[in-house]
Amino acid sequence: MGYRLSDLAARLGVPWEGPGDPEILGVAGFEGAGPGDLTFAVDRQRETGLADVVAAAVVVRPGVPCPLPALRADDPRAVFTQVLALFAPPLSRVFPDGRHPTAVVDPTAELAPDVALGPYCVVGPGARIGAGCRLGPHVVVEADAALGRRCLLHAASQVRERCVLGDEVILHGGAVVGSDGFGFHPGRAGLVKIPQIGIVVLGARVEVGANTCIDRATTGVTSVGEGTKLDNQVQIAHNVTVGRHCAISAQSGISGSCRLGDGVTLGGQVGMADHLELGDGVKVAAKSGITRDVPAGQTIFGYPAIEFRKGFKVVALTHRLPELFQRLAKVEAALGRRREGKDD
Amino acid sequence: MGYRLSDLAARLGVPWEGPGDPEILGVAGFEGAGPGDLTFAVDRQRETGLADVVAAAVVVRPGVPCPLPALRADDPRAVFTQVLALFAPPLSRVFPDGRHPTAVVDPTAELAPDVALGPYCVVGPGARIGAGCRLGPHVVVEADAALGRRCLLHAASQVRERCVLGDEVILHGGAVVGSDGFGFHPGRAGLVKIPQIGIVVLGARVEVGANTCIDRATTGVTSVGEGTKLDNQVQIAHNVTVGRHCAISAQSGISGSCRLGDGVTLGGQVGMADHLELGDGVKVAAKSGITRDVPAGQTIFGYPAIEFRKGFKVVALTHRLPELFQRLAKVEAALGRRREGKDD
Amino acid sequence: MGYRLSDLAARLGVPWEGPGDPEILGVAGFEGAGPGDLTFAVDRQRETGLADVVAAAVVVRPGVPCPLPALRADDPRAVFTQVLALFAPPLSRVFPDGRHPTAVVDPTAELAPDVALGPYCVVGPGARIGAGCRLGPHVVVEADAALGRRCLLHAASQVRERCVLGDEVILHGGAVVGSDGFGFHPGRAGLVKIPQIGIVVLGARVEVGANTCIDRATTGVTSVGEGTKLDNQVQIAHNVTVGRHCAISAQSGISGSCRLGDGVTLGGQVGMADHLELGDGVKVAAKSGITRDVPAGQTIFGYPAIEFRKGFKVVALTHRLPELFQRLAKVEAALGRRREGKDD
């Protein structure tokens, strides 16, 4: 069921130390650990609390005094991440090998021989699915869509027609890749739908959260770069370009034709007006509303979002508005008294 | 089709009065009622408008003069709620009894004999489903998940592997329970996925809105307490603990590892930074952004959210900023004139 | 594969001009166009950049000098929209004609003979589906629901029991029409669910974005008027009335019993408290929070949302708060010096 600490150390290539060589039965965060668990200490506070933690062993930096059995690593979180993978249930428990007999695959679709299809998957005509992909139950891959290798598509996620996924893309439950962009033309009898005939292209190792939506381009491509991670309920509008290695937190929305550079970070519930550009490495605090281009490297906050420290200061001063009004009233009163010759 | 008023009174155990004993054909709110409807009056305004309402009968407090046939109850809304249940179409119209032949149930899953499964349900290996549960079409219950008794899972809702639902849990369409938490570790080649191997546990009578997402814990449990109601498109991140009898309105998002006490109320589109704690009974106004712990019983507002009345005052004063700038400019002008000896 | 420019002109009934009569192989926006594409110029900037654009031809207003082959139209965008429709892949590629053998249709449902049903569609008892409707894979139409003619329901969208869709309604992937309203009654043992027995009615040509949710009414009707477009991840609560030809951008939420007039526009991530009324033609800037009724024709901004220009000014002045505090401090210092007889 578990692993000896020495065994884990060998698998991960890190030094270990006793007392003893405990069996590790599970993994847990520092606060939630129990007697059979391996946990990890990443900061000063936890490193000094090691005497009180209940755990079988701990991943901790070299040199930190540790009364418990330990794995030693310069980056305890990275090692802990590897251990988590060892304790994860096998993929085949959730995505069994082979094609479930109920999967409907169009005869013109091209699937690598080892693709795993869950019950009721639907793969449309002309679709291509690369080696090692696993599709959960009720996944839909529409006509002429293409998936790279080793993609993981969770239950009821969908890839609409002609969209393209790179290698090792993960879609979580209910994610929609390739919905129509929100484009309408005012006509005599109301809004006329502008056909959305472009596609979506997701780079390698993109992860798309549950119920997140990525709209196809009107013409051309909506793209999300390699390694970028989208949280749940994110909205990416038509013709947006998101760079590589970005992290977009839950419930954020990016309007049409925006361009995000590489390594951009958006907090939760951020909104972004259309046709804007964020440079590489821009960081945006949660709930901000972005209304203009932002140069590379800036951290911004607020609505309209401005440079973070200034935005933060503005908000702090906002909370002092009651004081401000009182002080101004006093000044006015003092001036008024003087004007009437009644100055003290 | 309908019920005599006297019959309703007997079923609900409340007194009734004429004139007559009308047949009640439907139920409607005060403003939308028609001649065959039972409606209800909950406040002074509606109680004084009873002469004008078109309805067959009304639920109203004892002692309130009423020209219409009436049911009398101290809490008219509670009685009306019971009447609504009588007029709801039978569950079996939408969730027919029995297991639809297209439902795919793993042979190692354990289902109570009376579980109703809609077309194309998928129940994975090791899953357990309690007595009286009804699953709509396309519901997915993954490997080793467990449902209590009398749960109602609407179309295309999903429970991912190993997650646990208490008795009488309701999932609305497209709800995702157990998606991966948004956890990544910066590595040399970009963001490295931290395996999310924990679970989600929902207490008894939890209701989860349409397309709402609840992420599984990294390790351990994301939990939502007994009786708590989540509206549509809510996002609950990994390792969050929500207490009992909370009400979280639509499009609100709770970041990782937050802890909410019992009886907490969040308005719509509220956001909450990670690792925060809200005490019992905290109320948060819509669109607020919570950035620090909040003690029990407080009502808060704004971003960053502060005590409600102060937050409200700050906003009101914000709207007076144009006036403030004008007043300050006058004061400066007056001082300037004096300085130049030109004071009036 | 493509169309001669002269052929397009004939089909669209607009004049064309050379040099030559190029074959149009595709369509693209002004910035993304390539050598075989038709593009369009809608504004001064693009009209003056025609010499530099790479394209086979362009749609441009009459009289504008154009070195490229051109279609001439007073409204180039409208003509371009028509061209897009010509280049869209045929509907039958994604929604094949006929009923897929795996579609489960209750024998009491009434479907027009030409209705197209994708794999694993589920149509409940008493449901009615009009001529020309196309349902993608995994679409669910529950008991007694009714669809007009030529509706297009994308993969995994769902219409719950008794809800009604007009002609030519489009539902995108994962959209939920008819989920329960968020209505609870405080009882002794916690929140008691108020049965939601009303329905949703969508007018003709309503479009509902991916993962958008529209709650059924408690009693009566939640309605969305003819021609109104809802973007992705929009939330419409119970008993809301949205007028005709409105455009509601992504991630906006409308609380219970609100009434929106015709031609209302909401930006993204707008929120609206319950029981409010927006008059015809009201425009609301992105991320606003609406807390009171708004008369017809107004444009509003902020939270609480106020008249747009005032709201905009307030925000601009907020950013000058640091300056304001400094100026006030100077005034106070000057007054203090005088008081002490040290005035300059």
Q: Looking at residue C227, what is its pLDDT?
A: 98
Q: To the nearest whole angstrom, how far is the Cα of C246 from the nearest Cα of chain B?
A: 21
CB-nearest to A317 from C84, C233, C322 is: C322
Cα B194 to its chain centre, rounded Å, is 30
Q: Looking at residue A275, what is its pLDDT?
A: 96
- Contact state of B233 with A233 under an 8 Å Cβ cutoff: yes
C122 touches chain B (CB under 8 A): yes
The encoded tokens of residue C296 equal 């017809």
Cα–Cα distance, B2 to A213 (Å, whole number): 44
Task: Name the average pLDDT for chain B.
Answer: 94
Catalytic positions of C, please?
238
B29 touches chain C (CB under 8 A): yes
Q: What is the domain range of residue C262?
A: 98-311
C167 touches chain B (CB under 8 A): no
The encoded tokens of residue C219 equal 């009693």
- Which chain C residues are closer than 8 Å to A181 by Cβ? none
- Which chain C residues are closer than 8 Å to A237 by Cβ? 250
Cα–Cα distance, B178 to C23 (Å, whole number): 52
The active-site residue, picked from B238, B245, B275, B319, is: B238
What sign results for the dihedral spanned by CA atoms B55, B61, B62, B66?
negative
Same domain, C33 and C153: no
Buried-state track B150-189, b at ≥16 Cβ within 10 A, e below 16? bbbbbbbbbbbbbbbbbbbbbbbbbbbbbbbbbbbeeeee
* Residue A114, Cβ density class (10 Å: 0-12 exposed, 13-18 middle, ≥19 buried): middle
- Which chain B residues are closer than 8 Å to C254 by Cβ? none
Buried-state track C163-199, b at ≥16 Cβ within 10 A, e below 16? bbbbbbbbbbbbbbbbbbbbbbeeeeebbbbbbbbbb
Concerning whether A238 is annotated as a catalytic residue, the answer is yes
Task: Name the average pLDDT for chain A.
Answer: 94
Cα–Cα distance, C280 to A329 (Å, whole number): 41
Q: Looking at residue C43, what is its pLDDT?
A: 87
Tally Cβ neighbours within 10 Å of residue A97.
11
For C251, nearest residue in chain B (alpha carbons) = B251
Cα angle at A166 between A163 and A169, to 5 degrees? Answer: 100
B61 touches chain C (CB under 8 A): no
- Which chain B residues are closer than 8 Å to C324 by Cβ? 324-325, 328
Domain boundary among the residues B88, B113, B148 is at: B88
Domain boundary among the residues A38, A59, A88 is at: A88
CB-nearest to C247 from A162, A191, A255 is: A191
pLDDT of A341 above 70: no
Q: Looking at residue A188, what is its pLDDT?
A: 87
pLDDT in tens, C20-51: 999 999 999 888 899 999 999 988 888 998 98
For B181, nearest residue in chain A (alpha carbons) = A231
Tally Cβ neighbours within 10 Å of residue B44.
9
Classify residue A116: in a domain, yes or no.
Answer: yes
Amino acid found at B130:
G
CB-nearest to C85 from A102, A138, A195 is: A195
Task: Name the average pLDDT for chain C.
Answer: 94
| Contact (CB, 8 A) for C205 and C169 | yes
A101 touches chain B (CB under 8 A): no
Tell me how long chain C is. 344
B11 touches chain A (CB under 8 A): no
The encoded tokens of residue A317 equal 């001063």
pLDDT of C342 above 60: no
Classify residue A11: in a domain, yes or no.
Answer: yes
Classify residue B261: in a domain, yes or no.
Answer: yes
Domain boundary among the residues B51, B68, B88 is at: B88
B174 phi and psi angles, rounded to 5 deg: 75, 0
- Contact state of B144 with A93 under an 8 Å Cβ cutoff: yes
Subunits with 3+ Cβ pairs within 8 Å of A are: B, C
Same domain, C265 and C288: yes
- Contact state of C219 with B154 under an 8 Å Cβ cutoff: no
pLDDT in tens, A25-79: 999 988 889 999 999 998 888 899 898 899 999 999 999 999 999 999 999 999 9
Cα–Cα distance, A18 to A6 (Å, whole number): 9
Q: What distances in angstroms separate CA C3 from CA B151, B256, C8, one per listed residue? A: 57, 54, 6
Any idea what the CATH number is for the domain that residue C14 is in? 3.40.1390.10
The encoded tokens of residue B199 equal 């679970």
Same domain, B47 and B152: no
- Contact state of C211 with A255 under an 8 Å Cβ cutoff: no
- Tell me, what DSSP letter sits at residue B313? H
Same domain, C76 and C102: no
Give the confidence band of A337 by pLDDT, cuts at 50, 70, 90: confident
pLDDT of A343 above 60: no
C89 touches chain A (CB under 8 A): yes
CB-nearest to B271 from A87, A247, A268 is: A268
What sign results for the dihedral spanned by CA atoms A295, A296, A301, A302?
positive
Classify residue C82: in a domain, yes or no.
Answer: yes
- Which chain A residues are closer than 8 Å to C89 by Cβ? 143, 161-162, 197
CB-nearest to A120 from C120, C315, C322 is: C120
Strand order in C158-159's β-sheet? C104-105, C122-123, C140-141, C158-159, C176-179, C213-215, C235-236, C253-254, C271-272, C289-290
Same domain, B126 and B67: no
Cα–Cα distance, B118 to C126 (Å, whole number): 16
Pairing of strands A207-208, A253-254: unpaired
Give the confidence band of A344 by pLDDT, cuts at 50, 70, 90: very low
Cα angle at C90 between C87 and C95, to 5 degrees? Answer: 145
Same domain, A108 and A254: yes
What average pLDDT does this structure show over C154-168? 98
ipTM comes to 0.95
Mutating which of A105, A120, A191, A248 best tests the C interface, going by the most C Cβ atoms within 10 A?
Answer: A191
Tally Cβ neighbours within 10 Å of residue B297.
12
Same domain, C64 and C159: no
The encoded tokens of residue C228 equal 């109104």
Q: Looking at residue A227, what is its pLDDT?
A: 98
Q: Which residues contact C41 (CB under 8 A, 6 or more apart)?
A: C30, C47, C49, C50, C53, C58, C59, C60, C61, C64, C76
Subunits with 3+ Cβ pairs within 8 Å of B are: A, C
- Which chain A residues are closer than 8 Å to C233 by Cβ? 211, 213, 233, 235, 253
Give the confidence band of B342 by pLDDT, cuts at 50, 70, 90: low
Q: To the nearest whole angstrom, how far is the Cα of B128 from the nearest Cα of chain A?
A: 15
- Which chain B residues are closer than 8 Å to C197 by Cβ? 27, 84, 87-89
Cα–Cα distance, B314 to A51 (Å, whole number): 47
- Which chain A residues are closer than 8 Å to B187 by Cβ? 78
Same domain, C130 and C109: yes
Give the confidence band of A189 by pLDDT, cuts at 50, 70, 90: confident
Amino acid found at B282:
V
pLDDT in tens, C276-307: 999 999 999 999 999 999 999 999 999 999 99
For A270, nearest residue in chain B (alpha carbons) = B271
Q: Looking at residue B336, what is its pLDDT?
A: 80
Q: To the nearest whole angstrom, how far is the Cα of C211 from the nearest Cα of chain B?
A: 7
For A182, nearest residue in chain C (alpha carbons) = C231
- Contact state of B156 with C162 under an 8 Å Cβ cutoff: no
At B5, which helix (H) or strand (E)? helix B5-12
Classify residue C321: in a domain, yes or no.
Answer: no
pLDDT of C267 above 50: yes
Classify residue A325: in a domain, yes or no.
Answer: no
The active-site residue, picked from A138, A154, A172, A238, is: A238
pLDDT of A134 above 50: yes
Classify residue C268: in a domain, yes or no.
Answer: yes
At C208, which helix (H) or strand (E)? strand C207-208
Mutating which of B105, B162, B176, B248 best tests the A interface, going by the most A Cβ atoms within 10 A?
Answer: B176
What average pLDDT does this structure show over C76-102? 93
- Which chain B residues are closer than 8 Å to A332 by Cβ? 327, 331
Same domain, B9 and B155: no
Same domain, A101 and A230: yes
Same domain, C297 and C224: yes
Any idea what the CATH number is for the domain that residue C177 is in? 2.160.10.10
CB-nearest to A173 from B179, B253, B328 is: B179
pLDDT in tens, B3-25: 999 999 999 999 999 899 999 99
Name residues 305-344 of chain C within 8 A of B (Cβ).
306, 310, 313-314, 317-318, 320, 324, 327-328, 331, 334-335, 343-344
pLDDT of B49 above 70: yes
- Which chain C residues are closer than 8 Å to A285 by Cβ? none
For B87, nearest residue in chain C (alpha carbons) = C197
The count of CB pairs under 8 A between chains A and B is: 190
Same domain, B132 and B35: no
Classify residue B158: in a domain, yes or no.
Answer: yes
Mutating which of C138, C179, C240 best tests the B interface, going by the most B Cβ atoms within 10 A?
Answer: C179
The count of domains in chain C is 2
Q: Looking at residue B344, what is its pLDDT?
A: 45
Tell me the β-bridge partners of C207: C170, C229
For C190, nearest residue in chain B (alpha carbons) = B245
What average pLDDT does this structure show over B271-287? 98
Q: Looking at residue B18, what is its pLDDT?
A: 84
- List alpha helices for C42-106, DSSP H: 44-48, 76-87, 91-94
